[in-house]
Structure 1
């Protein structure tokens, strides 16, 4: 069992990244872009990170597709996949990459859903939330990876779990 921190759209608020990493102690970190930090920032050491539409360091990749703990992940900000409209282009991108999980940001609205054989997770914006859960003041997702499931638990800026925002997805067992 491992724990993955999925975070996005901190928009220059580096301190919140430091705080959540210390509090949640994840095994792996995925940053979905719009950090407004440089690619060589020490916080990104041993993290998977992509460039968002507000990131201007060209050393940040637009997409990453690592396999972590036996799970293929598509990590992207989402702006090139037009996630403000719907997940159609992102799902096609996930199909192309044969991703199990898709982590994206850009909309500043949290979301967790399964569609077309992929689990899509938007952690929401940790610093500038929008939508139904904006009153939480910012969210990130901590995913517990087990041999049979991905458990997505949303957390607030003060590293507190949001009880109503916990979702379990069954892992596809590849044989």
Structure 2
């Protein structure tokens, strides 16, 4: 099972279409962690399980979602309401409350994959304005046979091998 995750696209549309087209054959789901700055009914967001961020002014976006994807529970939020630029502890506590296995979030624009106890946290970085590196990124998580592989890609779909992480799951 493989899920692709984007965040902080801030108005980009062609890039969203390219990512979904590029990975449609292998994706169990696509997740957008907010700050798309698009309307909730635009065609570019249709393939995505989406939440709203601090730059999304469409009120119909949920602030957070819990989704079961092929037996794995994902908690999806932008992160601004959980102070993610300072700590992941608030997200960790919320993940425990909703019994999530994987937390997908954005807001900081920093690509990250980290596991705390039995919860995997993934921030795909930003499709428009990355921080701490120049590449604009998105991520995937593949979970099979007790293992989670988190991969990060640039906008051309090239894997950024220095960011790849493997976790027991």
The number of equivalent residue pairs is 167
* TM-score normalized by the length of structure 2: 0.95
Aligned to 2:113: 112
The 8 Å contact of residues 7 and 32 in structure 1, kept in 2 or not, is answered as: yes
Is the aligned partner of 1:14 residue 2:13? yes
Q: Which range moves more in the overlay, 48-57 or 144-153?
A: 144-153
Aligned to 2:104: 103
The 8 Å contact of residues 152 and 168 in structure 1, kept in 2 or not, is answered as: yes
Is the aligned partner of 1:39 residue 2:37? no
Q: Which range moves more in the overlay, 121-130 or 41-50?
A: 41-50
Q: Find the aligned partners of 2:46 and 2:144 in 1 and give their Cα distance.
A: 24
Shift of 1:43: 2.5
Q: Find the aligned partners of 1:143 and 1:86 in 2 and give their Cα distance.
A: 22
Aligned to 2:163: 165
Task: List runs of 5+ in structure 2 lacking aligned partners.
Answer: none
The 8 Å contact of residues 20 and 47 in structure 2, kept in 1 or not, is answered as: no
Q: 1:69 to 1:147 in 2, by over 3 A?
A: farther
Is the aligned partner of 1:86 residue 2:87? yes
Report the RMSD for the aligned CA atoms in angstroms: 1.1
Aligned to 1:5: 4
The 8 Å contact of residues 124 and 139 in structure 1, kept in 2 or not, is answered as: yes
Q: Find the aligned partners of 1:20 and 1:44 in 2 and give their Cα distance.
A: 11
Task: List runs of 5+ in structure 1 lacking aligned partners.
Answer: none
Moved over 4 A (4+): none
The 8 Å contact of residues 50 and 63 in structure 1, kept in 2 or not, is answered as: yes
The 8 Å contact of residues 24 and 159 in structure 1, kept in 2 or not, is answered as: no
The 8 Å contact of residues 91 and 116 in structure 1, kept in 2 or not, is answered as: no
